[in-house]
Amino acid sequence: MFNLILFGPPGSGKGTQSEKLIAKYNFKHLSTGDLLRNEISKKTPLGLEAKKFMDKGQLVPDEVVIGMISSALDNNPNVVGFLFDGFPRTAAQAEALDKLLELKHQSINVMLALDVSEEELVKRLQKRGETSGRTDDNQQVIRTRILEYNRKTSPVSDYYRKSKKAVMVKGEGTIEEIFKGLTKEIDSRIHKK
């Protein structure tokens, strides 16, 4: 299996690039944001609880998302690999993910971090807010999401840097240019296995 984390701040293009990576490599896409929005649309107790945090731009508690990822790993035993998108977002989630994968004799192969300037992020998120229908793409909430990222999520890249799994990839340019940067890093690792 080849397990990849696509990392980056809100608006860095994780969703767009994930779709293209799945089409190319057939990874199982695990986006905690999508999983949570699905729970909200089904009005499950988990979804209703998570919505309170998401509407404010705050992170949902670790145990909720870790539980969701644990079930998703169990429910997909025969995949070529997982593409984690929007997870892990805290150091505690990163540690929990390593433990869950270890139980399956698996590990993370690489963390690809999309590098985008803050100015460009705000521009992209505001534009997305006009069309996405997402309740967390307005100016006040965007600000909180970036704060949460800087405070809790950016330390996650240190976690993977320590194990030499973190790689920065240019996140500005055309969608195709960014995609090329990502596939170059994946191909050099997949083919080594």
**Which residues would be at the binding site for ligand AMP (CB under 6 A)?**
10, 32-33, 36, 53-54, 57-60, 65, 86-87, 89, 93, 136, 145
Q: Is 89 noted as a catalytic residue in this protein? A: yes
Q: Which of 14, 51, 124, 165 is catalytic?
A: 14
How far apart are CB 88 and ligand AMP at their closest, in Å? Answer: 6
Residue 31 vs 186, nearer CB to ligand AMP: 31
CB of residue 50 to ligand AMP, shortest distance in Å:
7
Query: What token pair was written down for 30?
Result: 């695990």
- Rounded to whole angstroms, how far apart are CA atoms 76 and 106? 13
The residue with its CB nearest to ligand AMP is 33
For ligand AMP, the closer of residues 54 and 167 by Cβ is 54
14 among known catalytic residues:
yes
Q: Which helix (H) or strand (E) holds 22?
A: helix 14-25
Look at the alpha carbons of 22, 155, 110, 96 in this order and tell me if their dihedral is positive or negative. negative
User: Which of 20, 56, 134, 161 does the annotation list as catalytic?
Assistant: 134
**Burial track 131-150 (b if 16+ CB lie within 10 A, e otherwise):** eeeeebbeeebbeebbebbe
Q: Which is nearer to ligand AMP, 36 or 116 (CB)?
A: 36
- Is residue 134 part of the annotated active site? The answer reads yes
> Where are any strands of DSSP class E within the chain?
4-7, 28-31, 82-85, 110-115, 166-170
The nearest distance, CB 114 to ligand AMP, in angstroms, is 13
Task: List Cβ neighbours of 97 (8 Å cut-off, separation of 6 or more).
Answer: 66, 69, 84, 87, 88, 108
Helix intervals (H) in 42-138: 45-54, 62-75, 91-103, 118-131
Nearer to ligand AMP, 110 or 136 (CB): 136
Per the annotation, the verdict on 161 as an active-site residue is no
Q: How many residues does the chain have?
A: 193
Q: Which of 37, 89, 124, 165 is catalytic?
A: 89
Assess whether 143 carries a catalytic annotation: no
**Which residues form the catalytic set?**
14, 89, 128, 134, 145
